Structure 1
């Protein structure tokens, strides 16, 4: 490659990006925008079928190339492409294609975009299920939010999900982590070397200059892809516990719930008489967020950081959430709204913010300051490029230092290779 040739990047997506449907896709698109800003040559591939709200990447100058699981056609494809960097979107793609990438392009930098630590989210979901079985109390869930990192580790360590996910982190040269809490958990509890991790939070391209004023806003809003389990659980908790308490104090209030891929079970909750309105997918999430006075996000489990809450800050909309919702999003700064651990406390905070214009304006400004302090693409974009370039320059030493990752690649890739080849041979006989 000549010194002036553009860096070639191959992204292997778990799904085709839908930035208007999920924060995970939005974060991936932000990363792609940073790469495009460097003039890099980008190819996006996925074994998934295109979704209803798929982004047209070709408009941005990104090639779209479908690929197949358990098919040696990928070997020929990547060998011809010869990328300098391969970005796996979620650890399952590294499991499926990592051995092929290493076999065909051993000098390519292998990067994992985690979106969130899925094994942490699954462990927290299991803890919620156990709590719901143990008690009929639908108000106070403070015990869910209390565990320290050691307890989170204990809930994850014996699970297959954690073993698979953390092995993938080891096998890659660098993993992009959206949450500082998850970096701390991985380093201090699971023993991952910090050199394998890079903090890359949500990084919107543009910051707000003005907001829709308090007097021109009305109603409460909740938004989130219904295929994401924490969002559906939050809708159920609002329906059964939070929203009735808000309506007691604000009888005319309305809650508008938006989300991609609304299932029949969610549509069945639609009840205009109770002010509980399931609105389906929002064509423009920022427009509906800007029209709302309060964003409700009562998440009882989850991981990563929450795109809906960043969107609320971008729109100047105070939000009411739980410690899980606010986790790793505001550092030592005040939350731009309220954080509570029970349905009654969430409802009380939401009603107060809805009615108190001075408090509402104060929290709106806190959100603006938080965006400027933690989420500027002008800061995180260059930091990401610098880290990637450092890894490419020092790749041989980084891999020598990561003996555990090399050992895991050796054993995992051999077994995965033989299984994939067996499946491919079997498929030819069908």
Structure 2
């Protein structure tokens, strides 16, 4: 008998993946690896420009195709490709291309990689801005970190961004969610059917048994893409409030701040006399993390789960963060460091972990246990593939059960389609 045709996956990327620049890029590569392990054929496409830290997809046997927004050339491309599965990287790609996929490849399973709930992150950012507008010298942000789930829904529900994002989730056959907190929020408050959601956190191949010893480590470290607004806000909070408190107790302490795409406003914070070093992009993030004694992640807003914190656990480096930083990451297990809600408490916890070898090693062991329990690729990769295959096998009934999604596709995609076609017609050279 002839060999069966391999499953063909088309990924439509918001950007080309940069696993060494962002957690989103790392997660995309982990998903790709799970597909490759099944022998699936992958085509990666994106309308974005090429970033300087782009992953080499070709070396993995992945076809790379540049596509255009609002251009019917995509219709020809996807018709000829005829993928079995289409994965949209973030909801904006589902908005742009979802109706074209449905029109030309109606039997292709449509999967949305949410990365995180951007509408949740945006609502929290607006809250923080309002709070800081009232008083920029506030130390304690506990009221922002622990709202009831219903209160969070109320903050999100009226926003255009939330309505667009939740609509894209309903229109998709399956949505990959990185955070259990966000799954609960979608089910309990937005009434998204559980059948549309799949928990797919960050993944690690294995958990190291040995790390660089405590005695050989030095300095505090912060790392994150500066284009990501929560990271920039965290750096500012460290510079203005947290780091001065740490230096009062540890006058010779050094903080090394690494980040891809460092803007001038960040390099302007570089001040060796204060022990505050802005060092641009780290060529090997895991190496610098492995040699640091403490990872600082004082995030005042954000969503999803945090790649920098997962990397810290992978390197045996205790972290100090906020409830937003730890959200969705540890379930009922002990945290790999400290979770605090004010600048003074964050500074105190950081100093304690830095100086106390016993506390430091306990936090390290907690990180190992967390990775083993929640983040192994050997568990989440096959689970993802199994869930996709189950959806494909019962796709007709799966879609029939999602009447809200069908209704939204009927109406919303008409408006999206006509807007896209209008833009394409507008962009054509005049024949007059």
Per-residue deviation, 1:68: 0.3
1:7 has 2:7 as partner: yes
Aligned length: 429
Per-residue deviation, 1:136: 3.5
Which residue of structure 1 aligns with residue 244 of structure 2?
244
Gaps of 5+ in 2: none
Cα distance in 2 between the residues matched to 1:213 and 1:416: 56
Q: Could you report, residue by residue, the CA deviation over 1:284-308 in whole angstroms, capped at 9, with x for unpaired residues? A: 1000000100000000000000000
Q: Secondary structure at the match of 1:10?
A: strand
Per-residue deviation, 1:423: 1.3
Per-residue deviation, 1:138: 3.0
Cα distance in 1 between the residues matched to 2:29 and 2:162: 26
1:211 has 2:211 as partner: yes
Which residues in structure 2 correspond to 1:17-96 (within 5 Å)? 17-96=17-96
Cα distance in 1 between the residues matched to 2:236 and 2:143: 19
Cα distance in 2 between the residues matched to 1:249 and 1:3: 67
Which residue of structure 1 aligns with residue 404 of structure 2?
404
Which residue of structure 2 aligns with residue 146 of structure 1?
146
Which residue of structure 2 aligns with residue 190 of structure 1?
190
1:123 has 2:123 as partner: yes
Which residue of structure 2 aligns with residue 359 of structure 1?
359
Cα distance in 1 between the residues matched to 2:136 and 2:286: 36
Q: Normalising to structure 1: TM-score of the pair?
A: 0.99
Which residue of structure 2 aligns with residue 99 of structure 1?
99
Q: Secondary structure at the match of 1:280?
A: coil
* Contact 2:186/2:192 (8 A) holds in 1: yes
Per-residue deviation, 1:146: 1.7
* Contact 1:178/1:305 (8 A) holds in 2: yes
CA RMSD of aligned residues (A): 0.8
Q: Could you report, residue by residue, the CA deviation over 1:325-380 in whole angstroms, capped at 9, with x for unpaired residues? A: 00010011110100000000000000000000111011101100110000001111
* Contact 1:24/1:115 (8 A) holds in 2: yes
Cα distance in 1 between the residues matched to 2:194 and 2:130: 33
Q: Secondary structure at the match of 1:429?
A: coil
Cα distance in 1 between the residues matched to 2:135 and 2:142: 13
Q: Secondary structure at the match of 1:332?
A: coil
1:300 has 2:290 as partner: no
Per-residue deviation, 1:3: 6.6
Cα distance in 1 between the residues matched to 2:373 and 2:243: 33
Cα distance in 2 between the residues matched to 1:16 and 1:351: 39
Which residue of structure 2 aligns with residue 418 of structure 1?
418
Which residue of structure 2 aligns with residue 132 of structure 1?
132
Which residue of structure 1 aligns with residue 288 of structure 2?
288
* Contact 1:30/1:205 (8 A) holds in 2: no
1:427 has 2:421 as partner: no
Cα distance in 2 between the residues matched to 1:3 and 1:332: 46
Q: Secondary structure at the match of 2:262?
A: coil
Which residues in structure 2 correspond to 1:337-352 (within 5 Å)? 337-352=337-352
* Contact 2:256/2:279 (8 A) holds in 1: yes
Per-residue deviation, 1:20: 0.3
Q: Secondary structure at the match of 1:77?
A: helix
* Contact 1:138/1:241 (8 A) holds in 2: no
* Contact 2:226/2:262 (8 A) holds in 1: yes
Which residues in structure 2 correspond to 1:193-272 (within 5 Å)? 193-272=193-272
Which residue of structure 2 aligns with residue 368 of structure 1?
368
Q: Secondary structure at the match of 1:253?
A: coil
Which residue of structure 2 aligns with residue 277 of structure 1?
277
Per-residue deviation, 1:414: 1.2
Cα distance in 2 between the residues matched to 1:205 and 1:17: 19
* Contact 2:204/2:371 (8 A) holds in 1: no
Q: Could you report, residue by residue, the CA deviation over 1:163-205 in whole angstroms, capped at 9, with x for unpaired residues? A: 0000000000000000000000000000000000000000122
Which residue of structure 2 aligns with residue 395 of structure 1?
395
Q: Secondary structure at the match of 2:279?
A: strand
Per-residue deviation, 1:4: 1.7
Cα distance in 2 between the residues matched to 1:136 and 1:203: 37
Q: Secondary structure at the match of 2:428?
A: helix
Q: Normalising to structure 2: TM-score of the pair?
A: 0.98
